[in-house]
Amino acid sequence: MVEISPHFQAILGCLLDEDWTTPRLVEVLITPDGHLLGRCEDEESFRVFLGAAEDLVRNLHGVAPVAGLDGDEIGYLVAKVAETKRQPR
């Protein structure tokens, strides 16, 4: 079994569209300057600062061998992170 922080668990749950935490993190976005923000269930805006997007990608790669993720699985997660990038207006 792989132990991860509740913070990381909420982010993974959001990326995989799973309900793993309370409150549930339902959406994440990466700002143009690389910050990862989250929106919790029943919230209208992104109020939760989750850290740097590059740290999330590094953590995904770090947990992959321990969790037994193959290249396709880690690629899927990294692609889900890339989908969250907010384009500058």
| Number of structural domains found in the chain | 1
Q: Establish if 61 belongs to a structural domain.
A: yes
Q: Establish if 89 belongs to a structural domain.
A: no
Residue carrying the six token digits 């193959």: 70
Task: Specify the pLDDT at position 89.
Answer: 43
Task: Specify the pLDDT at position 87.
Answer: 55
Answering whether pTM is above 0.85, one says yes
- Please give the residue range of the domain that contains residue 53: 6-83
Pinpoint the alpha helices (H) of the chain: 6-15, 53-67, 71-83
Please give the average pLDDT of every successive group of 10 residues along the chain, which has 89 residues: 86 94 94 95 94 95 92 95 75
Q: Establish if 46 belongs to a structural domain.
A: yes
Do residues 30 and 53 touch, judged by C-beta distance below 8 A? yes
Please state, in angstroms and rounded to a whole number, the distance separating the CA atoms of residues 51 and 9: 14
